[in-house]
Structure 1
Amino acid sequence: MTAKMRFAELATVAGIGVAGISAVRRAMSGQRSEDDEAVNRWLVVTVLRSPDEVVADGALPAPLRELGDLVEVQVRPAPGDKGTELAARLTRHEPASAFARLEGKDPRQRVRVALREAKSLLEVGEIVHPDAPATTHPGPLGRLLSRATHIAQGEGRL
């Protein structure tokens, strides 16, 4: 490994550390972050199915139905007649701390997971999970990526 590559890895780790420290300081001081202000934002996925197929027999897809009254769900045609938008948001404000997400106790994570699983079920017929880790590199960035994947708690990407 060259000195330049090692310096780049150390700079990346240091940058992530600084960001983490500022988040912890904000959480400890009681300041509300922009994320806390946006707890009631709609999370939306586009499903490549018609609205009739998404809400078959008037029932929501199982992952969203299981959340019950924790979420409000909207089903509407996607712009340009390109499928259906499936939108969900929390019905009650539950304060989220900087640590709640790391511990897997942020209720928004459950909504994200449910939307991702609903989209997967509707489009593929099963919940799709990645088969292999993104990297097996044993270096600092590989360990950092492994930790980030663990913290994501299966949310995937929206």
Structure 2
Amino acid sequence: MALVHRRRAATGARPGRWQVVTVTGRPEQVLPGGRWPEPLRRLDGAVEVWARPAPGGRGTELAVRPLGGTPALAGFAAHLVGDDPGRYLRQVLRQTRQLLETGEVLRADRSPLDRPAARRPRRPGSEATG
């Protein structure tokens, strides 16, 4: 059973190409109650989203495509200037996958020491001695 969340284009223009990732979890966990995870919410009104079980019971396929010819695409116009819209869409999809699977959007420029202390493994001998 596929969960589909559609936003119709205002004109008859054709929608863009689907971008798909496989995410750990069931479709109802990926899009609970039809609500989009935060990175995808930035594109609300500009994209169509669906989720369905991945082949072989290996999680959920999460797919996104831009709606064609809709003024809502201007919502991410800042990312379009000098940028490929498909690239931005893939980036948002990757961030969504990271958030769903790890609970945070991973950043390459962040030091391991910047991570929340609760998630950092304890090293032997690192306890404070008084």
Q: CA deviation at 1:58?
A: 2.3
Distance apart, 1:53 and its partner CA: 0.9
1:115 maps onto 2:87 in alignment: no
Query: Match for residue 75 of structure 1?
Result: 51
Q: Give the aligned partner of residue 49 of structure 1.
A: 25
Query: Which runs of structure 2 are paired with 1:2-151 in the superposition (5 Å)?
Result: 40-93=16-69, 103-104=82-83, 106-131=84-109
Amino acid at match of 1:82: R
Alpha-carbon distance change, 90 to 131 in structure 1, aligned in 2, over 3 angstroms: same
- Greater helix fraction, Structure 1 or Structure 2: 1
Note if contact 1:75-1:87 (Cα within 8 Å) is conserved in structure 2. yes
Q: Which runs of 5+ in 2 are unaligned?
A: 1-14, 71-78, 111-130
Letter in 1 for 2:56: G
Aligned-pair distance for 1:115?
Answer: 0.3
Identity of aligned residues (%): 44
Deviations 1:81-103 (A, max 9, x none): 10000001110159xxxxx9792
Separation of aligned partners in 2, 1:83 and 1:107: 27
Inter-partner Cα distance in structure 2 for 1:108 and 1:57:
27
- How large is the Cα RMSD of the aligned pairs? 2.4
Larger relative strand fraction: 2
Partner Cα separation in structure 1 for residue 20 and residue 69 of structure 2: 18
Aligned residues: 88
- Distance in 2 separating the partners of 1:92 and 1:107: 12
Bigger RCO (CA 8 Å, 6+ sep): 2
Counterpart Cα distance in 1 of 2:65 and 2:108: 26
Q: Is the 8 A contact 1:48 1:83 kept in 2?
A: yes
Q: Runs of at least 4 residues of structure 1 off by over 3 A? A: none
CA contact (8 A) 1:45 1:86 kept: yes
- Distance, in Å, in 2 between the alignment partners of 1:72 and 1:55 is 13
Name the CA distance, whole Å, in 1 between partners of 2:49 and 2:38.
Answer: 13
Cα deviations by residue, 1:33-76 (Å, 9 ceiling, x for unpaired) = xxxxxx82210000011111101232011111220111111111
5+ unaligned residues in a row in structure 1: which ranges?
1-38, 95-99, 133-158
